[in-house]
Chain A
Amino acid sequence: MTATSPDRAVTARPAAQPPNYLTEGGSTLRSWLLTHDHKRIAILYALTITVFFFFGGAAAAMIRLNLVTPPGIFAADTYNRLFSIHGIVMVWFFLIPSIPNTLGNFLLPMMIGAKDLAFPRINLLSWYLFVAAGVVALFAVIAGGVDTGWTFYTPFSTMYSNSYVILAISAVFISGFSSILTGLNFIVTVHRLRAPGMTWYRLPIFVWSNYSTAIILVLATPVLAITLALLAVERLLQVGIFDPALGGDPLLFQHLFWFYSHPAVYIMILPGFGVISEVVPCFSRKPIFGYKFVAWASVSFTAVSFLVWAHHMFVAGMSVYAALVFSLLSYIIAVPSAIKVFNWTATLHKGWISFDAPMLYALGFIGLFTTGGLSGLFTANLAFDVHVTDTYFVVAHFHYIMVGGMVSAYFAGLHFWWPKITGRIYHEWWARIAALLIFVGFNLTFFPQFILGYLGMERRYHSYPPEFQFWNILSSAGASILALGYVMPLFYLTWSLYRGQRAGANPWAATGLEWTTPSPPPKHNFDKTPTVTRPPYQYRPEPEPQDAQGHA
């Protein structure tokens, strides 16, 4: 493909295009690595997490390959390192930063009519911390890997593991600082930099959900940092904190870990809610149903997400009374999730629905997230959880939420705002095929795992009894379709950069301040600070071309 050579690309760009954030300030490596522009930093993040996504994906491919035949092809230790690195990379180096740090970084200031985030330099620092964390994680893998799983349960991780635990937790520890800085930046930005007229109830839901996510990042991440620091102290200095042989308490770690990691699940899904709440109204040409309910549901997640951590520990030796309380709280928090699903569905009612790629990804999200959420009713159920905890039922449950949900939402958002980010339109037909493949491949991969889990196949097994083989083969076959679906966007999106049609300011005829500025946007987003006079989502049945000039 000669079209991808860099000089062709430059000449292909007409000189008439107005200056934008990609051209202003130069295109040298230096100008990118020292940029303070939230949009460029968003691009840096996008590139970095793409690398991690495919790295974690490669590990997943090897896991699924190993599980086709019961004895497996890898040695037990190799397999244990594979699923550990898969989990660690996917959680901390892909999911947590995915939507907030790419789409959020790019869009949050534009959506509220600001020139940049509140602290542009801190934003850049946060990316460097993230990269440093990634380098440490990769170093841990090269040095020989880690075999604790992404949960680092003690006393295995502190006293018994012979792998690079300290390196791995250092990577996670450093990435935590990146999260905290991003969270602070978002919170201050939303409070201080809203354009005139941009009241709280005029904020797009995407802003509400990223704001809620930021609060969780700031409140929960320090707990993780402290927990990992304690782990390091026990492992390095043999101070008894978690290991009973040294006088510690093995459950203490789990309480601390899940006190962070349960809210972290909402870090991994709330931004997805935000994306879907933008895409569905746009392609239904209707305001979102129950705006205030959806906005406040996001905020209520933030609060309740801190109250249910121990539902990961129903069989771990907690008291029966604690289990009863945590299960009840989990059922209560399921209510706002259900409301969101109903609201998106109701938004479709009496709309003018079109099925462009972002909408297909969004509809896929609703289906998969609903399935994942309903399986949460099972795992939050005390007696049922006793049977399926630590089995593939749980693996399926969290993949439906995190992969079916969040990754679909990320793709929906990436396609929706791609024209804004790059100024180009991708090939619609390929994008729809990919969305379809991902949906089918995903269900084929993970639905059999619900059955496997109910049959009793435990997770983190490199080898299993023969009666589980049929469903494992099915799951691995699905995974290859899914992998194909995930690779396709890499090609057609890259292709669009060189050959895609020019997008214009507002190709979807969407409302929202980000669509009132040219694509790609100029360096400071807006020529003059916009004044907001209307609530979001003022959609009309038929797209009106003059919307491209802004709805204000």
Chain B
Amino acid sequence: MNQGIHFLPETASAHAGEMDWLFAGLMITSAMILALVFGLMVVFCVRYRRNSGAERGNRLGKTWRVEVGWTAATFVLFLGLYFWGANLYLKLHRPPDDTTDIFVVAKQWMWKVEHPGGQREINELHVPVDRPIRLVMTSQDVIHDFAVPAFRIRRDVLPGRYESMWFRPTKVGQYRLFCAEFCGTEHAHMTGIVTVMEQGDYQRWLDAQGPGETLVAQGAALFRQYGCSGCHGPASTVHAPPLEGLFGRPVPLADGSMVTADEGYIRDSILLPKSRIAAGYPAVMPSFDGQIGEEDLFKIVSYVKSLGNASPGTGERPAP
């Protein structure tokens, strides 16, 4: 990140390398087209300038063969580029199973980060090298955008919902983080540093942040404090869906459709319980909209997720 003349950004994630190949492919294709168009233009302009003696002969009459020819060629070329880009984009949207989930809240004008172990940081993000990291992000006010050019990733961070994004850093070092969606006065200063560390260094860094409570533990406390356990707890007499084994499973809804219980679904179930009602349960849950802040909300979601991990592998939800 020193001064001087740069032509290419740093390449610090597995995805960045693949993206650079795509870039090369796009460059070569467009350089070829550009050379063709410019080349022909220059050649024609010189050769057929008004007072040149070039042979004009009979001018092109029938044109449809030429038209169909270059239309088809262009179409095939473009389709190839499309599939290449689309394939890589799909990969970017399919995180592996063993990600470390880190929570990010954006607000005018800072990035607040929370690690699973409860460690917090602002405008900084520490991650271990060669591990898949998944960011779960939301905003407290306007739309922001989390962008790390060295990883070739970015994604809008919207208020009122979770957006997630994953990457696998491959090179130890420090990389710039930007807010890429205009968000008000200090938009240009809503930046930060991503530090990629060796696994051991990362562990030491985590430990040095102090022995905080993990997000799951904090979430469990909040689960009781907000009264969720009154209905969803094992001792409850209310007919409410048990949350054990919920995360990541398909849930049948009262209107006959199915959703996958991801973070967004759990979040919506807490804030907007009437919007998607689980089949077989009365719609009695109150909304917690406006009562639980983003950070507490994420702790509760983390806790519910951890319940999912408690009974892995059945593939079926416990019967109501």
- Residue numbers of A with Cβ under 8 A of B are 76-77, 80, 147-149, 153, 155-156, 159-161, 243-245, 250-251, 284-286, 289-290, 293, 314-317, 320, 323-324, 327-328, 331-332, 334-335, 338-339, 341-342, 345-346, 348-355, 363, 366-367, 370-371, 374-375, 377-378, 381-387, 389-391, 451, 454-456, 458-470, 541
Which residues from chain A contact B70 at a C-beta distance below 8 Å?
A: 338-339, 342
Query: Known contacts A76-B188, A390-B145; is A382 also within 8 Å of B67 by CB?
Result: no
Interface: B45 (CB within 8 A): yes
- Does B206 sit at the interface, judged by CB under 8 A? no
Residue of B nearest to A456 (CB): B149
The 15 sampled A-B contact pairs (Cβ below 8 Å) are A77-B185, A159-B142, A315-B155, A316-B158, A348-B40, A349-B48, A355-B49, A374-B30, A375-B30, A377-B30, A377-B81, A378-B26, A383-B84, A384-B22, A468-B6
Contact at A464–B44, with CB atoms within 8 Å?
Answer: no
Distance of A381 Cα from B22 Cα, bound (Å): 9
Give the Cβ gap from A448 to chain B, nearest Cβ, in Å.
11
Chain A residue nearest in CB terms to B3: A466
- The reply on B279 being an interface residue by CB < 8 A is no
Besides A76-B186, A342-B37, 4 other A-B contacts (C-beta < 8 A): A156-B182, A383-B92, A387-B149, A467-B3
Interface residues of B in 17-31 (CB under 8 A from A): 18-19, 22-23, 26, 29-30
Do A386 and B92 form a contact, CB below 8 Å, given A156-B184, A350-B59, A541-B56? yes
Q: How far is the CA of A350 from the CA of B58 in the complex (A)?
A: 9
The 7 closest A-B CB pairs, nearest first, are A244-B160, A456-B149, A383-B88, A382-B89, A381-B85, A348-B44, A461-B188
**Once bound together, how far apart are the Cα atoms of A343 and B70, in whole Å?**
10
State whether B74 touches A317 (Cβ < 8 A): no
B247 surroundings in chain A (CB, below 8 A): none
Q: Taking A250-B143, A370-B34 as contacts, is the C-beta distance between A465 and B41 under 8 angstroms?
A: no
Which of A77, A289, A389, A461 is in CB contact (< 8 Å) with B154? A389
Contact of A346 among B60, B92, B149 (CB under 8 A): B60
State the Cβ distance, B252 to closest chain A Cβ, in Å: 21
Q: Which residues of B contact A370 (CB under 8 A)?
A: 33-34, 37-38
Taken together as a complex, chains A and B put the C-alpha atoms of A98 and B90 apart, in Å, by: 41
Supposing A161-B184, A290-B67, A327-B82 touch, asked if A456 and B89 sit within 8 A by C-beta, the answer is: no
| C-alpha gap A197/B60 in the complex (Å) | 27
Give the contact stretch, choosing among B98-106, B172-180, B207-215, B231-239: B172-180
* Interface residues in B126-169 (C-beta closer than 8 Å to A): 141-143, 145, 147, 149-150, 152-156, 158-161, 163
In the complex, which residues of chain B have a beta carbon less than 8 angstroms from the beta carbon of A367? 37-38, 41
Residues on A with C-beta less than 8 A from B45 are: 348, 353, 355, 363
Alpha-carbon distance A333/B63, docked complex (angstroms): 22
Given contacts A335-B74, A377-B81, A460-B182, contact A156 B60 (CB under 8 A): no
Within 8 A of A (CB), among B36-60: 37-38, 40-41, 44-45, 48-50, 54, 56-57, 59-60
Contact A374 B181 (CB under 8 A): no
Summarize A's interface: helix, strand, loop or mixed: helix
What residue in chain B is nearest A314 (Cβ atoms)?
A: B89
Name the A residues within 8 Å of B18 (CB-CB): 383
Beta-carbon contact of B176 and A363 below 8 Å: no
Contact with A along B180-208 (1 / 0, CB 8 A): 11111111110100000000000000000
On whether the beta carbons of B6 and A467 are closer than 8 Å, the reply is: yes
- B34 engages A470 (CB within 8 Å): no
B158 touches A381 (CB 8 A): no
Measured between alpha carbons, how far is A352 from B1 in the docked complex, in Å? 54
Number of A-B contacts (CB under 8 A): 255
A391 to B184, CA, bound (A): 17
Taken together as a complex, chains A and B put the C-alpha atoms of A393 and B28 apart, in Å, by 17
> In the complex the two chains form, is B78's CB within 8 Å of A353's CB?
no
Does B315 reach chain A (CB closer than 8 Å)? no
Q: Are B188 and A456 in contact (CB under 8 A)?
A: no
Inter-chain contacts of A243 with B (CB < 8 A): 159
Cα separation A328 to B79 with both chains bound (whole Å): 8
Min Cβ gap B158→A in Å is 5
- Chain A residue contacts of B26, Cβ below 8 A: 377-378, 381, 384
- Enumerate chain B residues within 8 angstroms of A454, measured Cβ to Cβ: 8-9, 23
Given A382-B89, A390-B154, A455-B8, A338 and B184 touching (CB < 8 A)? no
Are A384 and B49 in contact, CB atoms less than 8 angstroms apart?
A: no
**What A residues does B314 contact at CB under 8 A?**
none
Known: A327-B82, A377-B29, A390-B181. A384 touches B66 (CB 8 A): no
B301 to chain A minimum Cβ distance, whole angstroms, is 17
Contact A324 B66 (CB under 8 A): no
Given contacts A155-B159, A289-B63, A458-B178, contact A382 B85 (CB under 8 A): yes
Q: Which of A293, A335, A352, A470 contacts B48 (CB 8 A)?
A: A352
Residues of B within 8 A of A462 (CB): 188
Which A residues are CB-close (under 8 A) to B81?
A: 331, 377, 381
Cross-chain contact B85 with A383 (CB below 8 angstroms): yes
A456 and B178 within 8 A (CB):
yes
B-chain residues with CB within 8 Å of residue A290 when the two chains form the complex: 63, 66-67
Closest to B272 in A: A247
Q: Do residues A377 and B78 form an inter-chain contact, with CB atoms below 8 A? A: yes
B74 engages A338 (CB within 8 Å): yes
Q: Give the distance in Å from the alpha carbon of A324 to the alpha carbon of B297 in the complex.
A: 32
* A-contact 0/1 string along B67-87, CB 8 Å cutoff: 100110011001101101111
Residues of B contacting A349 in the complex (Cβ-Cβ under 8 angstroms) = 40, 44, 48, 60
Report the Cα distance A345→B45, complex, angstroms. Answer: 10
B319 to chain A: which residues have CB within 8 Å? none
Which residues of A lie under 8 Å from residue B317 when comparing CB positions?
none
Contact of B93 among A245, A320, A327, A332 (CB under 8 A): A320
- Contact pick for A317, options B84, B161, B176, B184, CB 8 Å: B161
A384 and B189 within 8 A (CB): no
Chain A residues near B310 (CB-CB < 8 A): none
**A350-B178 Cα distance, complex, nearest whole Å:** 52
The residue in chain A whose Cβ has the minimal distance to the Cβ of B82 is A331
A338 to B60, CA, bound (A): 20
Instruction: Find out whether the CB atom of B74 lies under 8 angstroms from the CB atom of A339.
Output: yes
Query: In the complex the two chains form, is A470's CB within 8 Å of B149's CB?
Result: no
User: Quick check: is B108 within 8 A (CB to CB) of the other chain?
Assistant: yes
Complex Cα distance A312/B89, Å?
Answer: 15
Which chain A residues border B191 with CB–CB below 8 Å? 465
Output the least CB separation between A158 and chain B (Å): 10
Q: Are B176 and A456 in contact (CB under 8 A)?
A: yes
Instruction: Please report the C-alpha to C-alpha distance between residue A353 and residue B19 in the assembled complex, in whole angstroms.
Output: 43
Q: Is the CB of A317 within 8 A of B8?
A: no
Interface string of B263-297 (1 = CB under 8 A from A): 00000000000000000000000000000000000
Q: Is the CB of B154 within 8 A of A465?
A: no
Partner of A351, one of B19, B48, B66, B184: B48
Closest to B189 in A: A463
In Å, the complex CA distance between A14 and B230 comes to 97
Task: Decide if A467 touches B22 in the complex (CB within 8 Å).
Answer: no
Q: Who on chain B is nearest to A342 by CB?
A: B70
B-side contacts of A317, CB under 8 Å: 155-156, 158, 161, 163
Name the residue on A nearest B140 (C-beta).
A245
B44 (CB) vs chain A CBs: closest residue = A348
A156 near B143 (CB under 8 angstroms)? yes
